[in-house]
Amino acid sequence: MNSTEQTKTSVNKYVDELISSEFHYYFGFFANTVLVIFFMVQPLHYALGPWSLSLATTLGLFGAGYFVWTLLEYVMHRWLYHEIHSLFAKGHQMHHEEPLSLLGIPWLLNTVIILLVFWAGAALSAVDTAGVFLGGFWLGYLNYTIIHYGLHHWKLENHVWRQLWKHHKIHHKLPDKNIGVSVTFWDYVFRTKA
């Protein structure tokens, strides 16, 4: 290797192939949409009567789930993907090296983890409470995946979209800045906005 060539980050041959699988990447959009619907419909299926949550509670739980996702997105991106040396950080480094490549956590892993969280939440509270909260949470995740994909692959002229695109482009140049992808709010809170 000459001095002008750069070594690309790699986890290992098998993990690299799994996280860069085009099928896993695109199928994840479908699987995550199905999960959002599942979380919202599951409580109705198991309810032994009318919906047990008021409209205000339903909207509050859904909104809280979405809000919690935005915080978790920031925390994971900042610390798990950038600060802590981990498999996730290596995979994310691969993304920074090749931003147009289709890299992501395999949909099956996400599905198993979020379903375990749902069943634990349903056991600790109620099916409807867990379902509505995780419906909002997973819609936040789905929104994040679509926005992140779009920031690298779509050219939209919408003002809000252009602002997110500029925000994310700075992150790729200054990895410790502009951590938020789907929202910029947490960058202001944690003072990482460039």
Q: Which domain covers residue 91, as residue numbers?
A: 13-146
Q: What is the count of structural domains for the chain?
A: 1
pLDDT the model gives residue 88: 74
CA–CA separation, 36 and 66 (whole Å) = 11
Q: Is residue 168 part of a domain?
A: no
The verdict on residue 158 lying in a domain is no
Its sign, for the CA torsion 40, 43, 49, 50, is negative
In a domain, 38, yes or no: yes
Residue 41 domain flag: yes
CA dihedral 45, 46, 48, 51 (to 10 degrees): -70
Pick from 22-26, 36-40, 152-156, 184-188 the range whose average pLDDT is largest.
184-188
Measured CA to CA, the distance from residue 127 to residue 107 in angstroms comes to 23
In a domain, residue 87? The reply is: yes
For residue 164, tell me if it sits in a domain.
Answer: no
Q: Is residue 153 part of a domain?
A: no
Q: Average pLDDT for residues 41-68, to the nearest whole number? A: 76
In a domain, 61, yes or no: yes
Model confidence pLDDT, tens digit, residues 2-17: 333 444 555 555 555 5
Alpha carbon dihedral 25, 28, 30, 36, in 10-degree steps, equals -150
- If you average pLDDT over residues 35-61, what whole number do you get? 72
**pLDDT of 84 above 70:** yes
Please write the tens of the pLDDT for every residue from 158-176.
Answer: 899 999 989 888 888 888 8
Percent of the chain with pLDDT over 90: 21
Confidence bin at 182 (pLDDT 50/70/90): very high
The model's confidence at residue 187, banded by pLDDT at 50, 70 and 90, is very high
Q: State the pLDDT at residue 13.
A: 58
